Amino acid sequence: MAEPPLANHQADPHGVFVGGGEMGALMAGYDWSASPLGPAQAWPQSLRTAIGIMLTSRYAMWMLWGRDLTFFCNDAYRPTLGVKGDWALGARADRVWAEIWHEIWPRVEIVLTTGTATWDEGLLLFLERSGYPEETYHTFSYSPLRDDAGAIAGMLCVVTEETERLIGERRLATLGALASELASAQTEQDLAAAIEHGFGRNGRDLPFTSLYLFDEDGLSARRVAATRIAGGHAAAPDLIRLSDASAPWPAAELMLTGAPVPADDLSRLGSLPTGDWKQPPRQALLYPIAQQGLEGPAGFLAAALNPFRPYDAAYRGFIELVAGQIAAGLANVHAYDAERRRADALAELDRAKTAFFSNVSHEFRTPLTLMLSPLEELLGGQGTDAEPADREELIETAHRNGLRLLKLVNTLLDFSRIEAGRVEASY
């Protein structure tokens, strides 16, 4: 059997960082003689072994070693470092993770003092890997590393970042709750309550929101719903006039373009609600609410954004889905309102028809009575001895009321033709 090819040791003459990828190359070129660990050729075999295991693993790992807590990591862990990747290698671990050291040091201390491994699942950590504190979630275990004499000399972290999964699940749950609440909304008041309940458990992605609908004249927008912000607040006025240049939200721009409009520097609006955070949002997004069958938006959702997450495609997609569900709910409300008004109109028409036919029956009864009475007198022989003038009067009375009845019948037929669409009324 042919021997496997040997790794290239030119970049690593001491064989410590063989097969370590980019981080292995960086470690091989690092001046370790100026570090507390000293030159790599003098490292104990236990340290070499730990680094070799870490570098050749495709699972994200980092480790610290010695009294100075010297930091190492592999290629799979580099994305977690973010902007710190340029200087973290060989630095003190408490400097690399200064912003979360108060969270992780108790765990590190347990490992270094007792040798007991730790375990955390989906732990929230605010990492400053992108230039600002970022909401991240990690499942990880800290394990002890021992030197050649068997004493604890360091710690190894094996970690899986679950930020995208957990935030995705949170947003999906919000969309599900919103859809469930909107399903039974029949009025604008129901719509507002559904939005409040649907957003109720997600004060992280939606610290506060306001829903505005444009008036028919297109000159103003009225607030119909708000979550986690009091009505009348500078960021949630009851009415926004599109001509007002000092309005808190650029509603005129959104109505003109029909496209989402970002709003930065929310500090100008004074003290703002923080949602589930201790820090107020810095940005908001105005997203149009589409209206069925029409080009222009029915209104917009002003959604404050999570101050600890970037506004990226995933975040925008979430807001877009939220706005889409609100648009569908609003369309259902309008459809229900139209159906209710139609039902009321039909009920009113039924009442009018009932009154009409009651009046018609009365109008028919009167001429019929006035016709039948003189005819009965003539047929019964009561008018035989009467004067010819009196008999003529009885006949004229019957004839006159017959004509009246004929006129009523013709009028009724005209209305039936109008209702059937066979003739057009001319007033």
Residues 6 or more apart in contact with residue 339 via CB below 8 angstroms: none
Residue at a domain's end among 100, 130, 161: 161
Name the percent of the chain lying above pLDDT 70. Answer: 89
Domain with 87 in it: what CATH number? Answer: 3.30.450.20
- 60 within some domain: yes
Domain identity same for 151 and 182 = no
Nearest-angstrom CA–CA distance, 301 and 269? 17
Domain identity same for 343 and 295 = no
Domain identity same for 286 and 344 = no
Residue at a domain's end among 161, 180, 207: 161
pTM: 0.78
Confidence of residue 427 (pLDDT cuts 50, 70, 90): low
Nearest to 286 by CA among 260, 320, 314: 260
* Tokens read off for 289: 């609410």
Nearest to 286 by CA among 277, 299, 298: 299
Domain of 71 in residue numbering reads as 21-161
For range 189-197, the mean pLDDT: 94
Domain identity same for 117 and 175 = no
Domain identity same for 73 and 98 = yes
Nearest to 141 by CA among 162, 167, 160, 125: 160
pLDDT reported for residue 94 = 97
Res 310 pLDDT > 90: yes
For range 253-257, the mean pLDDT: 93
pLDDT tens-digit series, residues 10-56: 445 456 788 889 999 999 999 999 999 999 989 999 999 999 999 99
Average predicted confidence (pLDDT) for the chain: 88
Confidence of residue 382 (pLDDT cuts 50, 70, 90): low
Domain identity same for 110 and 209 = no
- 8 within some domain: no
Domain identity same for 353 and 259 = no
Domain identity same for 277 and 209 = yes
pLDDT reported for residue 381 = 64
pLDDT tens-digit series, residues 115-163: 999 999 999 999 999 999 999 999 999 999 999 999 999 999 999 999 9
Domain identity same for 173 and 301 = yes
- 425 within some domain: no
pLDDT reported for residue 387 = 65
Domain identity same for 70 and 179 = no
- 7 within some domain: no
Looking at per-residue pLDDT, the higher value among 348 and 202 belongs to 202
Residue at a domain's end among 130, 161, 192: 161
